[in-house]
Structure 1
Amino acid sequence: MTTLYKELVQIPEEQANWMGMRGWVYQLLMDFLSRPPRMSLIAQWRRRVELKNTIPMCQGGKRLKSYLESIPEENFRRVCYEEAEEFDRLFTGHSAKIAACESLFLAKEKGADAFVCLSEIRDTYMESGVVFNKISGERDDHISLELEFMAVLSEEMLGKADLRESCLELTDVQILFLKSHLLNWAPAFSAELAATTTSTLYVGLAELLVEFLEIDLENLCAWREMQG
């Protein structure tokens, strides 16, 4: 992946490595914020963390890495069950502690027009040719679908690394989406999540979400500026 980016433009190795890693981070956040984590999901990401450098070493990344690596085998089933219960408490049903959809969260926090927000997001997905396979009736502005949208564009960008104009278009879409949507509500969402749970998993996810989005925007803007 790094080689492809170097063929497109000479960029620092650190940034090239980031471009190759970012899709994994979006996938991790999406996986754990989309549904109650089953044993297979936690086991899968624990193996990935052990085998590959898939989590950036920011505060949230370090917390998640340490958490995944420290779950005792004899307690693994119980820990997974407790994390699934915590997901349901936080995000599921009428008694959910936090709204995990942008329009609902902003309507509650800032009195924003939920319909306008949701329509803008749907238009962005449509214009980018991204269609999700919704198996549980997820809303288009759910945090997990917004993260999945970024993951899809990240992978598409890697696949078109030798097509400069296509990469520029994809970069512009991602920068705009981060500024107009994800970073418009993820910081407040993450702060509320961290304050509402004692789970190391969800505190780590809350920290990583904001840290990663801010760094990703910075890297995308730097890459875009290098293209002129």
Structure 2
Amino acid sequence: MTMLFKEPVQIPEEQARWMEIRGWVYELLMDFLSRPPRMSLIAQWRRRVELKNIIPMCQGGKRLKSYLEGIPEENFRQVCYEEAEEYRRLFMGDNAVMIACECQYRAKEESLDALVCLLDIRNTYMESSVVFNKISGERDDHIALELEFMAVLSEEMLSKAGLHESCLELADVQIRFLENHLMQWAPRFSGELASATSSPMYIGLAELLVQFLATDLENLYAWRNLQNKCKEDSETGIHRTK
């Protein structure tokens, strides 16, 4: 008897682990690059890092993990105050050291049409049905909102792991957004941030940002290729004869 059946998609253990932690990493980067970090935020992420082992062990991840775990308890309040002040120096006010918005950054570096860039970002958010709760007038192209967008889609992708077509669509959106936006400016932004600060926390964040984005894009391609191969096998049909 000839039988036609569909093989279940087998996700390698390394890819499964990547699917589980990538949303956490995007959230971590977003949290620390969106506003001056409060003591509660640093304490929260220190606990998460210790309990969940969610930071990739790249150079930036190791530096950030070591820093968070190594803050002396007796100096914790002072360290948190200093990191918040460093964020203000780097990103806030007319004399901010860093440009943290993609369109403004790329317009300066590449003579890019900032309005066209911003409209593309907004359309991507809208087409993905992602709406941000902006409490301080944040720009859609701020590095933190772009990272939050990726965090939202990564969590949605994880929650829809059994819905093949939905996950492929989500992967395609994330790949396009990384290639057309984050990877177009985040590596340069990260390098400038690491050079502009002496804070181990912000140097670690800068290194983690560029290293993680590159790895995440590579993993998204690998995941999509595996899914497409399984889809092709399923549509072609695998015949076995008893």
TM bucket by the smaller chain?
Answer: over 0.9
**Structure 1 residue 173: deviation in Å?**
0.1
Aligned residue for 1:118?
118
Residue 66 of structure 1 aligns with an amino acid whose one-letter code is: S
**CA distance in 1 between partners of 2:70 and 2:108 (Å):** 37
Q: Given the two structures, how large is their TM-score scaled by the length of structure 1?
A: 0.96
Aligned residue for 2:233?
none
1:8·1:162 contact (CA, 8 Å) conserved in 2?
Answer: no
1:8·1:161 contact (CA, 8 Å) conserved in 2?
Answer: no
SS in structure 1 at match of 2:18: helix
Aligned residue for 1:42?
42
Residue 127 of structure 1 aligns with an amino acid whose one-letter code is: E
Residue 176 of structure 2 aligns with an amino acid whose one-letter code is: L
Q: Is 1:185 aligned to 2:215, yes or no?
A: no
Aligned residue for 1:3?
none
Q: Given the two structures, how large is their TM-score scaled by the length of structure 2?
A: 0.90
**CA distance in 1 between partners of 2:197 and 2:81 (Å):** 16
Give CA-to-partner distance per residue, 1:143-174, whole Å, 9 cap, x none: 00000000000010011111100000000000
**CA distance in 1 between partners of 2:105 and 2:8 (Å):** 39
**CA distance in 2 between partners of 1:166 and 1:14 (Å):** 22
SS in structure 2 at match of 1:140: coil
**Unpaired runs of 5+ in structure 2?**
1-6, 229-242
**CA distance in 1 between partners of 2:9 and 2:160 (Å):** 13
**CA distance in 2 between partners of 1:38 and 1:211 (Å):** 25
Matches within 5 A, 1:69-108: 69-108=69-108
**CA distance in 2 between partners of 1:121 and 1:181 (Å):** 8
Question: After the TM superposition, which parts of structure 1 deviate over 4 Å for at least 4 consecutive aligned residues?
Answer: none
Matches within 5 A, 1:187-202: 187-202=187-202
Aligned residue for 2:57?
57
Aligned residue for 1:164?
164
Aligned residue for 1:225?
225
**CA distance in 2 between partners of 1:83 and 1:8 (Å):** 48
**CA distance in 2 between partners of 1:29 and 1:8 (Å):** 34
Give CA-to-partner distance per residue, 1:25-78, whole Å, 9 cap, x none: 000000000000000000000001111111000000000000000000110000
**Structure 1 residue 109: deviation in Å?**
1.2
Aligned residue for 1:4?
none
**Structure 1 residue 23: deviation in Å?**
0.3
SS in structure 2 at match of 1:11: coil
Percent identity of equivalent pairs: 76
SS in structure 1 at match of 2:68: helix
**Structure 1 residue 111: deviation in Å?**
1.2
Q: Is 1:129 aligned to 2:119, yes or no?
A: no
**CA distance in 2 between partners of 1:84 and 1:111 (Å):** 32
Work out which structure has the larger RCO, using CA pairs closer than 8 Å and 6 or more positions apart in sequence: 2
SS in structure 1 at match of 2:95: coil
**CA distance in 2 between partners of 1:9 and 1:96 (Å):** 49
**Unpaired runs of 5+ in structure 1?**
1-6
SS in structure 2 at match of 1:138: coil
Q: Is 1:208 aligned to 2:208, yes or no?
A: yes
**CA distance in 2 between partners of 1:144 and 1:9 (Å):** 34
SS in structure 2 at match of 1:137: coil
The structure whose Rg is larger is 2
Aligned residue for 1:31?
31
Count of residues in Structure 1 that have an aligned counterpart in Structure 2: 222
Give CA-to-partner distance per residue, 1:183-228, whole Å, 9 cap, x none: 0000000000001000000000000000000000000000001122
**Structure 1 residue 8: deviation in Å?**
6.2
